[in-house]
Amino acid sequence: MMQIPCPFCGARNESEFSFGGPVKPPRPEPEAVSDADWTAWLTQVPNPLGPVQEQWWHVRGCGTWLTIWRDTRSHDIVEGPGDGN
């Protein structure tokens, strides 16, 4: 299991968290992009190999939403709250 660093509770087991998904780029104005780009932004979830910025909710702890960097190859937290993130 992963140990996710909570800035209030310290490193906690991933079972205390709920995955909120990858951090997406800001929502574009629909009239400023093509239909294909707009559909892609709405429906496609990035799944890169390597470090990914993700959101996690400490649902069984302090209730804080965290943004962390996790390496999808190893599940290692490569940067967490308080580490320049």
The strand ranges marked E within 1-85 are 3-6, 10-13, 18-22, 51-57, 65-71, 77-79
CA-to-CA distance for 72 and 41, rounded, in angstroms? 21
* Cβ-based neighbours of 35, under 8 Å, separated by 6 or more: none
pLDDT band at 70 (very low <50, low <70, confident <90, very high): very high
> Could you tell me if 7 and 71 are in contact, meaning their C-beta atoms sit under 8 angstroms apart?
no
Q: Compute the mean pLDDT over every residue in the chain, rounded to the nearest whole number.
A: 88
> Could you tell me if 24 and 55 are in contact, meaning their C-beta atoms sit under 8 angstroms apart?
no
Q: Which of 9-13, 34-38, 46-50, 73-77 has the lowest mean pLDDT?
A: 46-50
Domains and CATH numbers, the chain: 1-21+53-85 (3.30.2270.10)
